[in-house]
Structures are given as C-alpha cells and as structure tokens.
Amino acid sequence: MTRKKLIESLPPVERRRFMKLLGLALAAPAVPAGLRFAARELALGEAKAAEMEGQEPIYFIEINLRDQWDFGHVFVAPGLATEQNLIRGSDGRKCAMYFMPEELLARPNNVYLTPLALPLDPHLDTIAMIETCEHGIGDIHGHEASNALRSPGRSKTGGAGRMSMADNEPVPYAPGNQDHFSSTPTPASLHNYWMRQLDPTVRSGVAFKGIGRDHTAYHFGAGLPGAELDRAQTRQSLFSAFPDALEDFNVLPSAQQANALIDVLTQADSGFLDKYGYVESVDSVHQANLDNSRNLLYVGEPKLISLPLTEAEIAYWSEGVPDQVTSKPKANIWEQCAWAFKLISNDLVRTFAIEFDYIDWHDQRPEMIMDTLAHQTVLPLARLIESLKLAGLYERTVIAVYTLDSGRSPAANSAGNEGKCGLMLAGGMIKGGYYGDVGVDGPEGNGHRYYYRSPDPATGEPTPKVTDSSGRLSGAHVWKTVTKAIGIPDDVTDQFPDVQGVPHLPWLLKS
C-alpha cells in the first residue's frame, strides 16, 4: 500500500480520528505554518489542506467569580504599586493592599506582581488584566449574575428583543440574582453555539454551577440553536454525564503504519515549502515534532478517561488553595479547573464554564481575605495554564476570568458599585500586561480618594483620571475582544444590536 493510499483507505471513523490527531500533532508551537500546510497537502491533498487552514478548534474556559472579587493581591495597579505614601489597612478608606513597594516584582507592560502571584510569572506574556471595566447594575451594591462584559446591553427591563437571562438557570431568584434581560449571548454560550455549527457532532459545553450561596452566573444563548450549555449542579451529576470510558486514540492499527505516515510528513522539505512562499526549513526541531507525532498516531493501549480526580491529581491541583467557604459547598475552584482541563484535553467538550464564590465580606477587608482571593485566583490558573501547555493546547485556548459583581475600589470599606470591575484574559493569542491604572488622587477620611484610568479602546493607553464611576471600558469592546479571540466571525457577532459595529481591542490580541 502506498503512503498516500494508506490515508485514503481509512474507514470514515478512523479517518475522523486521524483528522483530529493530525490537528493535535501539527498544532504544537514549534511546527511553523508552512510545515503544517505542507504536511496536510502531502497527507490529504491540496483541497483538503486548504479547507483545514484555520479550522482547528479553539477551546474556551470561562471562570465566573462572585461576591465582589478583588484581584488586588495578584497584579497591583501601577499607580498603587509605585505610591510611596500609601496608607494600608482593613477599614475605612485605607488601601486593602498590604505589600510594600519593595516587595512587588516589576515586569514588562505595567505588571507589578505580588509575591503571591509568582506562579503566574512564567506565563505573563499571555495574561492580561483590566480592572476599570463597566460596572455592575445590581440593586445590592452591584451584585448581579450577568455582567456587562459578558452580555453588553443587559438591562433590568425586557422588550426590544431582550429576553430573560435567567430562564434556563436552575438556581431560583435570590437577592443578588436579579433577572436581567438581554439580546446578546454570553461568551461561553456563543462559543458553544459556534463550535456546534462548525461540527454538529461536538458535544454541548458545560457550566458547573459551583457557587455555594444562592447566587449563580447566568449563561444566556439568546435563542441561538444549540447555544445553551448543559448545567451540572453537583460533582455526581458531572461525573454521571461523563462516565469512565476507555478511549482508543490510535489512528492507525500499528506502529509500522504510523511510521509510514510520518515518512509522508517528512517529505515537506524546504523546496516544498518554497512552493507556498514559506521560508521555514525542516530542521531538527521540526523533525523532533514529527517524531512526537508518531507517538500520537499510535499510542498503544486504549486510555482510561476518568473525571474523578486521583490522589496525585488532587495533590497537584489543590496544594495551597484555600477551600470554598459556604454552608452549601459545591466544588473548590481548583477542582473545577482540573475538570475543565480533563474534559478539554480529551476533546470531550470545547466549552467549560466555572462558577465560584468565596465570601461576601463587607465593611472591612483584612489581609487574610486578600491573600485568600489571591491564592484562589493564582494557583488554579497557573496550573491550568501549565497543564494546557504540556498538552500542546494553550495556543488554542482562551481563559476569561470575570468578576460578576464588579469589584471594589482599593478602599477597604468599598462595595461592588464603586471603583473597579476586573477582567483577566489568558491564552496563546492574548497580549499580556496590565491595562489602565488605579492610584491615589488625594486624602479622604482615614485613607485616600482613588483615581481610575481606563485603557483607551483604540490604543490601550490610559485615559484621563476620573474619581467617580464614569469613563469605564465598555462591556461591548470587551465582549467583541473575547469573541474575536475564541474565533467567532464578525458577521456572527454583528447580528446582535448592542455590539453591532463595535470594534474589538486590537492591543489585547496577538495578530
């Protein structure tokens, strides 16, 4: 059997597996675009290679944090990080940021890390933070289950095409879960819709309802077919939806045939690449990638996929992460990140939404609270990024971390309708940095009056200082940027009136 006929003769099921595994093998960061196209043409033919360009799935993990989450002990705003006369403390208008300037680590693009955020240091080129986004509108100091960044134009009233965002949620109304109305789908729901448009065989994405109080996060499909995420309310319901299974990841029936296929791929020499105007050469690095691909094409025994975590996995994901604090515990944030990785790395889902809360702490913010929020943010995120990188999937994954209840000003006694509204984005296509600024504007009470400078939508440079709630970065710009990153075409996103024609933030995404 000739090399090319070997591939063409595969039965449809095996051919589909081959396409999936070939995509994974060729998606490794060290494989240049020219080699990727050349290998596909040699293996599948020119027409199929052209069809596959840009069709690798993009995975999306949405992390929704509730109860006025504060990133103040993760990345410190430049204005606060460099303020030499900062009054720190847990009450009044004192700043609830307890690290001294000399303890912070300055990094490129306006990033100042606290010592607690050091696990993110190796990944900073792909992690962005903005704390001056559009505020929440919940009646109880900003508490809401929707958020303008996730659904621009959401409102307290229906009409004009706006539907209830709560209709598909299993958590009943409770203070802090106002039933907002919108015509704009939330990112995880839109991603779920689009992945299933591209491939109708893709399983629906999942939202784990992990918040311990009666709060929730709304996931809203805006009536798009197949957009609604499956909701899992308990560990057991999630495990039952994805029972243990033996998966045979062998595309070819023998190591010998895998070797034959690799021989096909190695024909993509520099002359072949020149045909398409690429300048990369097939050097030892690329050859090493092809050798790794051989192991992907024939991996030996079938693999057991099991969602419950082993003792070793629990030890890795949980180390140093404080537990959820609630009378009705659902799942720790590290557990949910571990499940997200397992499901995505095995291509069981392409969309996974996490929901988590800690404590709705009022009036004071002691150092212990700020440290806990930092550990719960940093450690699961760092381990999720590390795991995705090892699996060769980070370049094709977007992680969006939203603070649904807005946030707080740096003042210890502030609430979610004042000051900050935080967003973190991570992934191979994200330009890392801290965008905008927060700092001290003058004295107030026993501490400070604080200023806020949102990033300019066109340039990313901080806009002029404000001390009130005005001038925040519009949720429509943020939404367009996230949907751009997860691969939703403009003609799809522009059908929604509240974001129609709004540009994405070009400085936040790698070209």
Using one digit for the tens of pLDDT, what is the confidence trace for 295-337? 555 656 677 889 999 999 999 999 999 999 887 889 999 999 9
Domain boundary among 264, 279, 301: 301
The answer to whether 467 touches 486, Cβ cutoff 8 Å, is: no
| C-alpha atoms less than 13 angstroms from C-alpha of 207 in its C-beta half-sphere | 29
- Does 487 score more than 90 pLDDT? yes
- Using N-to-C axis directions, what is the helix angle for 333-345 and 311-318, rounded to 10°? 120
Please state the rounded mean pLDDT for residues 87-107.
97
Q: Give 59 or 160, the one with higher predicted confidence.
A: 59
Alpha-carbon distance 378 to 156, whole Å?
33
Please state the rounded mean pLDDT for residues 202-221.
94
Ranges of beta strands (E only) in 9-113 are 59-66, 105-107, 111-113
State whether 333 and 401 are in the same domain: yes
State whether 171 and 65 are in the same domain: yes
Q: Give the domain range for residue 318.
A: 59-108+145-244+304-508
State whether 219 and 330 are in the same domain: yes
Tell me if 130 is assigned to some domain.
no
Using one digit for the tens of pLDDT, what is the confidence trace for 169-187? 987 677 888 899 999 999 9
b/e map 143-172, b = 16+ CB within 10 Å: bbbbbbbbbbbbbeeeeeebeebbebbebe
Question: Counting beta carbons within 10 angstroms of the beta carbon of residue 386, is it exposed (0 to 12), middle (13 to 18) or buried (19 or more)?
Answer: middle
The answer to whether 164 touches 179, Cβ cutoff 8 Å, is: yes
Tell me if 164 is assigned to some domain.
yes
Tell me if 187 is assigned to some domain.
yes
Alpha-carbon distance 507 to 456, whole Å?
10
Using one digit for the tens of pLDDT, what is the confidence trace for 235-290? 999 999 999 988 765 555 666 556 655 665 555 545 554 554 444 444 554 555 55
State whether 451 and 374 are in the same domain: yes
First to last CA, the chain: 42
State whether 330 and 381 are in the same domain: yes
The answer to whether 453 touches 437, Cβ cutoff 8 Å, is: yes
Tell me if 129 is assigned to some domain.
no
- The torsion defined by the Cα of 29, 33, 38 and 43, in degrees rounded to 10, comes to 50
Give the confidence band of 42 by pLDDT, cuts at 50, 70, 90.
low
Q: Quick one: what percent of the chain has pLDDT higher than 70? A: 78
Residue keyed to tokens 């621009």: 152
Q: What's the total number of domains in the chain?
A: 2
State whether 327 and 282 are in the same domain: no
Q: Give 241 or 23, the one with higher predicted confidence.
A: 241
State whether 228 and 374 are in the same domain: yes
pLDDT of residue 360: 80
Residue 230 host element (H or E)? strand 230-232
pLDDT of residue 30: 42
Tell me if 275 is assigned to some domain.
yes
Q: Count the Cβ atoms, other than its own, within 10 Å of residue 327.
A: 6
Identify the weakest region by mean pLDDT among 282-296, 353-367, 466-480: 282-296
State whether 175 and 286 are in the same domain: no
State whether 290 and 319 are in the same domain: no
pLDDT of residue 16: 61
Tell me if 196 is assigned to some domain.
yes
State whether 98 and 234 are in the same domain: yes
Cα torsion 384, 390, 392, 394: sign: positive
Alpha-carbon distance 176 to 460, whole Å?
32
Tell me if 363 is assigned to some domain.
yes
Domain boundary among 301, 326, 342: 301
Tell me if 281 is assigned to some domain.
yes
State whether 278 and 405 are in the same domain: no
State whether 285 and 383 are in the same domain: no
Full-model pTM: 0.85
- Does 418 score more than 80 pLDDT? yes
